[in-house]
Amino acid sequence: MEKILHLTANVIGIIGVAIIAWGIVLITIRLLQLEIKRFKKKSIYRARETLRHQLGEYLLLGLEFLIAADIVDTISDPGLMDMAILGSIVIIRTIISYFLENEIAEFTPPENKE
């Protein structure tokens, strides 16, 4: 049972990292496209801000998966030190998620003018 929980935690963790990596790839491609527009003397400030918030959403989703992986991994081998480490990780990630969510919630995306 412990091996299954450990394997499950690894799979969930890999999914979390994949979500973050996928978001970075997509946002990087879009950013490069925007920078080409900037070289053509077009303003990209709002679009770049939108990209930043979209990346934040990918980071939030990935962090949620990573927290879940840590919880499942700690369940497989619960020790006092492991619980303390998990608690610290969850607190840090929750604080990061809280501030990212607040920033994303305050953002109003620009209207499409194309």
pLDDT in tens, 53-94: 889 889 889 988 988 888 888 877 777 887 888 788 878 878
Can you tell me the distance from the alpha carbon of 82 to that of 60, in angstroms, rounded to the nearest whole number? Answer: 23
- CA 50 to CA 34: how far, in whole Å? 11
101 has a pLDDT exceeding 90:
no
Domain ranges of the chain: 2-106
Q: Which residue has the higher pLDDT, 61 or 110?
A: 61
Cα distance between residue 20 and residue 66, in whole Å:
10
